[in-house]
Amino acid sequence: MGRAATFEHAAAALADAAHELGRGASARPPAQRDAWWTLARDVLAPMGGPGQTERALARIALEWAALDDGADTDRVFALRPSAWIVVRAGGVERWLGALLDATPVPVLEVVADSPSAAPFDAAARLPPPRRVVCTGFEDEAQAAAAEVLRALADRCAPVALVALDRALVRRVHALLERTPGMRVHDETGWRLSTTRAAARVMTALRAAAPQASRDACLDWLKSDAALPATTLQSLEAAWRERRRLPPDADAAWETQRTRLAPLAVARQPLAQWLQALAAVLGPAGDDPAAQQVAAALRLDGAAGGAPWHQAAGEARPDLAGFTRWVDDVLDAGVYRPPAPPEPHVVVTPLARALLRPFGAVVCPGADDRGLGAWPAPDPLLGDAVAQALGLPTLAERRERETLAFAQLLRVAPAVLLRRLDSGGEPLGASPLVERAMRARERQRAACPAQQAWQPALEPVERAPQRRPAPVVVDGLPARLSASAVQALRDCPYRFFARALLRLREAEELDLDLEKRDYGSWLHALLLRFHVERAEPRPADEDLARLLALAEPLQAEQGLDAAQLLPFRAAFETFAPRYVRWLQARDAAGWHWRAGEVDRARDADEALPVRLVGRIDRIDRIDRRADGAAWQLIDYKTGAVDALKKTVREPLEDTQLAAYAALVASGDDAPAALQAMYLALDDREGPVEVVHDDVGATAAAFVDGLAADWRDLRAGLGLAALGEGQVCERCEMRGLCRRDHWTAEPPAGEDAR
């Protein structure tokens, strides 16, 4: 065990011991408590040798518990009745004996327990419990849920679902909640940390951290629900798209951020942290979970005992430490929801199931670990100390469990379930169940054999997943961009999802600056550089201007200087190479003519869909024997080899073909048209990757797209092609259910 784990273990043991000692004190009348604490100090006197650390921890627990100056039992000890009526069920309560001794009045005692020597004899005279054996955890949960439903069908409500195994019962609860109208009252509750109210607390603390990410801030804003949905959407969209916040969202965010100000403190006493947190969260209102969270954290000003006040005044955590403490408290706390009216099922611990009018009992987890196992000794107090101080000993705890189980078997028809395996470890029958069965055998009562659980199976029609191919005749988009055409070619179904359903992945928040951002910045920089460069000029002037434009544009685009630093270093080496390339272009007679040019080609006979696109750059050359020529240039920051591979198969190059088709279709269509990719970040400088005879490719592109479009309008399905690398990187893989159908299309199915 590492040091951190050892510390956690020791702290938990210390807290448990303090609680146990506190309970020991409260079992005494107030007047006898000082003497009891004195006895406890004697019994837990410091010692040396083996066990001295445990003893020292036990002493701390003792002094901590002794600081508490009150007990839950004080009000009972203060009563002065003329008589007591005592019902004994489920074993001995020590404080009860002390109470009766302290108030010597007549007592009517009803003993509901069987003698400890034969605890199951009374239950043996009743109908036998059914014993069901399951293979594993899920099997047992399903079986328990089925038994509850069966009992309810037999009109045995309310059914007690005994929580021997919390995880198992939580699963049973979840299964039962699938039944419409089912009312379950969970008296055991579940972790406070899993409630929405606890999540709101934690998200507020994480958002208040000095380096809080936008993810953390957004989580808080969503859980806090203080902003109107439209404002929140606008804020989230701007953050995801790395835009400046619109004014209304900006103002709303400032207001919300101000709310977190009470938590913007370096370090302060725990009590003040709690006041600050209470100020940020506001009143708990009617939400029972929020009320229980406030109570667990003492946000509502609920007074703790003296130990609490001392600890809250002395501890001075920073925000991170306070956040950890809150997380621990919420994780250790239990949320108990309010009871629904007339519940069908009551989830209850064994000790609270006694003498209650249940119609049936379902008890999963009745195995040798969950029921009747010998309890583990307290690591700090031990059985000898417990004996000396009148705390419950191991034998007493076991006897209480035995008597409680014996009572359970007398409450109502019971089903006891267990599984054979837990995480690879074999599980046996509960020793208490075995004793109960032996008692029945001794009395020659019915003792039916265990049953292996068999789920009731229903036949289900086979429904193999088919490759989707939605037919969209009237809903096809009125215009296509080059990237949309590429998507259509890659996989028509993906095109359907993106262009028709308009689905897209949300942009990640808080990502570091990506190459994509650098690419956008560089595109904008080159555009600005060329717009103001009216004619060729010396290389040193070009270089100086290109470098000078970088900084203001970075500020304009709101790019983080630190995050852009690695890219700026690359830019410093790119700039002189680019200028060299540009000077060579000047010498060859090329002129920059336009950048970021939006072009459109209206639908017509030849292509029945509008085509649109934005061309990075158009250059022109005039000094040629055969007249002027135009060159379409697309800037790329990717690998040169991939671009060369693309133009090697010209009919596969959608982008430059689409741009050429756009330029060739206008009234100003040039007689001579060229196109190329310009790879900007190659080590040797900008590399021209020319698409030869792009005019012919553009014509073939238009013909091919027109044919495809007519087919789609005629009812051809937008089939999921499901092939190659495209699928590996596809964000729609879950939507088309690519992993659930075979690559081969079913016979007769249209596939492109």
**Where on the chain is the footprint of ligand SF4 (CB under 6 A)?**
491, 493-494, 720-722, 726-727, 730, 732-733, 736, 738
Question: Minimum Å distance from CB 627 to ligand SF4?
Answer: 44
How many Å is the Cα radius of gyration of the chain?
Answer: 38
152 vs 144: CA distance, rounded Å: 12
211 vs 206: CA distance, rounded Å: 9
Please say which residue, 64 or 493, places its beta carbon nearer to ligand SF4: 493
Strands (E), 475-609: 479-481, 590-601
- The structure tokens 């075995």 sit at 434
Q: Give the orientation angle of helix 196-208 with respect to helix 319-332, to 10 degrees.
A: 170
Six-digit token string for 207: 């958002």
Question: Minimum Å distance from CB 470 to ligand SF4?
Answer: 11
List, in order, residues 6 or more apart from 454 with CB less than 8 Å away: none
Which amino acid would we find at residue 739?
A: D
Question: Minimum Å distance from CB 496 to ligand SF4?
Answer: 8
List, in order, residues 6 or more apart from 388 with CB less than 8 Å away: 39, 43
Question: Minimum Å distance from CB 726 to ligand SF4?
Answer: 5
List, in order, residues 6 or more apart from 597 with CB less than 8 Å away: 614, 615, 617, 618
Question: Minimum Å distance from CB 732 to ligand SF4?
Answer: 4
**Helical H segments across 306-348, by residue range:** 306-314, 319-332
Question: Minimum Å distance from CB 433 to ligand SF4?
Answer: 53
Please say which residue, 680 or 736, places its beta carbon nearer to ligand SF4: 736
Residue 154 has what DSSP assignment? T
Question: Minimum Å distance from CB 507 to ligand SF4?
Answer: 19
Please say which residue, 377 or 470, places its beta carbon nearer to ligand SF4: 470
Please say which residue, 493 or 590, places its beta carbon nearer to ligand SF4: 493
How are beta strands 590-601 and 479-481 bridged, if at all?
unpaired
Question: Minimum Å distance from CB 735 to ligand SF4?
Answer: 7
Closest to 165 measured CA to CA, from 325, 313, 364, 6: 364
Residue 657 near residue 645, CB atoms below 8 Å = no
Buried b (16+ CB within 10 A) or exposed e, 360-392: bbbbbbbbbebbbeeeeebbbbbbebbeebbbb
Six-digit token string for 296: 């667990």
Question: Minimum Å distance from CB 492 to ligand SF4?
Answer: 8
Please say which residue, 360 or 491, places its beta carbon nearer to ligand SF4: 491
Question: Minimum Å distance from CB 132 to ligand SF4?
Answer: 44
SS3 of residue 737 by DSSP: coil
Question: Minimum Å distance from CB 720 to ligand SF4?
Answer: 4
Residue 114 near residue 396, CB atoms below 8 Å = no
Catalogue the long-range contacts made by 326-332 (C-beta closer than 8 Å, 24 or more residues apart).
326/201, 326/202, 326/205, 326/277, 326/297, 327/193, 327/202, 329/296, 329/297, 330/191, 330/192, 330/193, 330/198, 330/201, 330/202, 330/293, 330/296, 330/297, 331/191, 331/192, 331/193, 332/192
Please say which residue, 57 or 484, places its beta carbon nearer to ligand SF4: 484
Please say which residue, 419 or 738, places its beta carbon nearer to ligand SF4: 738
Question: Minimum Å distance from CB 475 to ligand SF4?
Answer: 18
* Number of neighbouring beta carbons within 10 Å of residue 487: 21
111 vs 693: CA distance, rounded Å: 102
568 vs 561: CA distance, rounded Å: 9
